[in-house]
Amino acid sequence: MNRDDQAIRNETVERIRTAVNPSRLLDTALRLIEVPSPTCHAGPVSDRLTELLQADGFDVERPVANWPEAPAVVTRLQGRRPGWILQFDGHLDTVHLPFVPPRVEEGVLTGSGAADMKGGLAAAIEAVRALRDAGGLEAGSVLLTAHDHHEGPWGDCRQLYAMIEQGIVGDGVLIPEYLCDRLPVVGRGLAILEIRVHRDGEPVHEVFRPAGQPSVIHAGCELVRRFEKLNAELAKHPHPIAGPGTLFVGKIAAGEIFNQSPTECRIEGTRRWLSHESTAAVADQYRSILEEVAAQTGTEITGDFVVRRDAFEIDRENPLVRAFQDSHRAVAGRNLPIGAKPFVDDGNAFIAQARIPAITHGPDAKGAHTLNERVPLAELVRVAEVYALTAITFCQDKRSGSR
């Protein structure tokens, strides 16, 4: 089918633009941000979102999804005939920083979660309202989901995984995180590494150190050397969009004083890998290095490999990619360049666990994971329009027999 034939009609675009209500969108964002919700404590803001949706006439489900402290929030908008289900999914929790109340100044919204990601979630909510107010969907349905337990290291994604296991998923997902300059069709997986190098005995002054006593610092340095060697090898095989896999060391610590032989050395870092590598194989490679260095240095080495998200790659011709690109062009006047997702988020989990395409796209927001989160209201309106048009296009798209 010719790309021009797929263009969204002007009257559809105008119908959605008229239905998106900036004042209502802003009020929703303010009312979500004003409820503090550090990760694992998003119960009150989940209740607030439930109240907002119910007051606006939506039926709301509250699945516990392995986190009774803050049951998830689920609502649906049904189309007039069968079609695909597009899911808008966002997290309600924020990082553990001091709470900053919401404020609006010169068209910019600030406060805890304004960028990550209550602002983006409010835009997704407004997209659902606009679809309803504009006459509903011709086909298919929209599934809106919001949950806790996203931000690490405090959360472990258990609530989202439980929702996926319970079948609370669509045929495609949009994630309103703060990535807006590319259409991310590929992303690396991420594991956090925490390593403990240990020797028997007690700390001892260097001059009384027994001959042949293992050095945990030497062993730690050998680990870092081996990691750097692997990182250099990984750099030789980059993905054309995502770049290479990496093994990064960000912290190494040992000892209490300059002339003491310590009993422990700790190393922390990350391992990122590409979609053609299995998570299990990457973990086995890491553990093999630990075992080899332990045997070589006479130390005991234990290491955690905490997987935050898996690697992924989406077919660029997937119906969701096409629908999103058409909608973005209708709103912004241009296609987004194809690119890689620089971070990991819940989209990685949907692709790996639910086997459905997930696109991360949100407002041009700044200050995520800081005390100065901010997002222009105009960007939230833009995201709401793109999301609503993507739902109209994707949910009735029958050009492919599979997802």
**Cis amide leading into 153 (omega within 30):** yes
- What local confidence, expressed as pLDDT, does residue 397 receive? 62
Whether the predicted pLDDT of 403 surpasses 60: no
- What local confidence, expressed as pLDDT, does residue 289 receive? 98
* Mean pLDDT of all residues in 303-308: 95
**Cis amide leading into 163 (omega within 30):** no
Complete domains list, the chain, with CATH: 3-186+311-395 (3.40.630.10), 189-309 (3.30.70.360)
Please say whether the beta carbons of 382 and 330 come within 8 A. no
pLDDT digits (tens, 9 = 90+) for 172-219: 999 999 999 999 999 999 999 999 999 999 999 999 999 999 999 999
The residues facing 173 across adjacent strands are 87, 358
* Spatial CB neighbours of 257, under 8 Å, sequence gap ≥ 6: none
pLDDT digits (tens, 9 = 90+) for 21-62: 999 999 999 999 999 999 999 999 999 999 999 999 999 999
Alpha helices in 85-176 (DSSP H): 118-133, 158-165
Whether the predicted pLDDT of 398 surpasses 90: no
- What local confidence, expressed as pLDDT, does residue 248 receive? 97
Strands (E) located in 165-216: 172-175, 183-187, 189-198, 204-205
% of the chain with per-residue pLDDT over 90: 95
pLDDT digits (tens, 9 = 90+) for 173-185: 999 999 999 999 9
Whether the predicted pLDDT of 152 surpasses 90: no
Tokens of 188: 């690396």
- What local confidence, expressed as pLDDT, does residue 3 receive? 43
pLDDT digits (tens, 9 = 90+) for 93-118: 999 999 999 999 999 999 999 999 99
Distances (CA, A) of 184 to 7, 12, 90, 133, 341: 21, 26, 17, 30, 5
Tokens of 65: 């999804």
Distances (CA, A) of 39 to 67, 153, 194: 12, 9, 21
What's the Rg (C-alpha) of the chain? 24
* Spatial CB neighbours of 50, under 8 Å, sequence gap ≥ 6: 60, 62, 73
% of the chain with per-residue pLDDT over 70: 97
pLDDT digits (tens, 9 = 90+) for 131-145: 999 987 999 999 999
- What local confidence, expressed as pLDDT, does residue 12 receive? 94
pLDDT digits (tens, 9 = 90+) for 328-344: 999 999 999 999 999 99
Give the whole-angstrom CA distance, residue 387 versus residue 381: 10
Q: Which of 117, 99, 123 is nearest to 35 (CA)?
A: 99
Long-range contacts of 328-332 (CB under 8 A, 24+ apart): 328/183, 328/361, 328/386, 329/7, 330/7, 330/8, 330/13, 330/389, 331/13, 331/382, 331/385, 331/386, 331/389, 332/382, 332/386
Can you say whether residue 233 is alpha, beta or left, with left for phi > 0 and alpha for psi between -120 and 50 degrees? alpha
Mean pLDDT across the chain: 95
